[in-house]
Amino acid sequence: MITAARRLLLLVGFCVSCVPSGAPELPAPASANSLGASDTAAVLAVAAQFGIPSPAHIGHPLSQYVGCPVVILESSVTVDGNRRSWVELWVRRKGRDTGGHRCQVSAPSGGRVEHRDRWVASSEERTERTVWRVHDGDWHVDIALGTDVSYDTATLIVQAVRRHTLVNEIPALLQRFMGDTLPVVDAGDIRAIEKSRESHVYKVKTGEVWGYVLDVSIDAGRVLVHSVGSWIS
């Protein structure tokens, strides 16, 4: 018998983007120890040009089949109540990739490009990240919220997921394929809540590289689930 989870994967498409990783759980400042001293100094010099003079985290270089190695740096986190924000910068190594192709750095019209030795970054790959810390008693989760999603709405949705009080409003026809019970969703896995094109519907995304996408609405304090899908990076 096909399980409900497998039915979900058969019914939905896959998105090609990921939710930000959630910098508030950054470790203590670390250097990219797989880089040599000169490369590390060059990467730090580039980062300083984009307002990150002392990165809180420097990722290990990501090797790509197409494209040169990339180092992702993150600034320290600024805390303002439940709001947590930081800056992320992708620094790319110049030269050629493993396939022999010349590496390019995206540079929008009027954008900035800074380089030091064989490392280069563009203002197009400098991103300001923000998450909101949603609480349920002593428990919390950090979530990215869309521009039209209020903190109170996010709290209501997250608490409904955590307390297992979601109301199944999936149409009967879809329930024939997906089953009449909602999947078990860990509220701690929620990474983003965005407003759907339908004004009353919110999209709740879970997971880092794959997860569920729940379409929900709010009615008289209840959180109603209208569809369940999945995504994978």
pLDDT tops 60 at residue 211: yes
Q: What is the mean pLDDT of residues 166-195?
A: 89
Beta bridge partners of 120: 92, 115
Q: Give residue 65's pLDDT band: very low, low, confident or very high (50, 70, 90).
A: low
pLDDT tops 60 at residue 145: yes
% pLDDT > 90, the chain? 60
Confidence at residue 158, expressed as pLDDT on a 0 to 100 scale = 98
Model-level pTM? 0.76
211 neighbors 230 (Cβ within 8 angstroms): yes
Q: Give residue 66's pLDDT band: very low, low, confident or very high (50, 70, 90).
A: low
pLDDT tops 70 at residue 83: yes
Confidence at residue 96, expressed as pLDDT on a 0 to 100 scale = 76
Place of tokens 């810390």: 133
Name the residue with higher pLDDT: 165 or 174: 165
Confidence at residue 175, expressed as pLDDT on a 0 to 100 scale = 74
Q: What is the mean pLDDT of residues 93-111?
A: 75
pLDDT in tens, 24-60: 443 333 444 467 899 999 999 999 999 999 999 998 7
Closest CA to 76 of 142, 9, 13, 27: 27
Confidence at residue 1, expressed as pLDDT on a 0 to 100 scale = 41
